[in-house]
């Protein structure tokens, strides 16, 4: 069973949240899964766009009012 690592970036705002998300994506091994927690919709849009441009399709869920989780496998 695959290990899913969780990264809480909700304390960062865009563009720093996007920079941090890209750094962790680049550190993932092939077929490794990460949950990226973001704290605002601007970060969500920016990170989701970056994932799409890399050919990755994240699963998305909203946690409470202002936190968003993207689950992505490299």
Beta pairing, strands 59-63 & 33-38: unpaired
pLDDT digits (tens, 9 = 90+) for 19-71: 999 999 999 999 999 999 999 999 999 999 999 999 999 999 998 888 999 99
For residue 16, count other CB atoms closer than 10 A to its CB.
12
Structure-token pair, residue 20: 């941090």
Beta pairing, strands 4-8 & 33-38: parallel
With beta carbons less than 8 A apart as the criterion, state whether 38 and 67 touch: yes
Q: What is the pLDDT of residue 1?
A: 59
With beta carbons less than 8 A apart as the criterion, state whether 21 and 50 touch: yes
């Amino acid at each position: 069973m695959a290990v899913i690592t969780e990264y809480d970036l909700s304390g960062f705002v865009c563009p720093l949240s996007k920079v941090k998300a890209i750094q962790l994506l680049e550190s993932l091994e092939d077929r490794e899964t990460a949950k990226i927690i973001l704290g605002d919709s601007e970060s969500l849009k920016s990170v989701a766009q970056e994932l799409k441009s890399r050919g990755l399709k994240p699963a998305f869920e909203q946690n409470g009012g202002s936190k968003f989780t993207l689950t992505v496998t490299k």
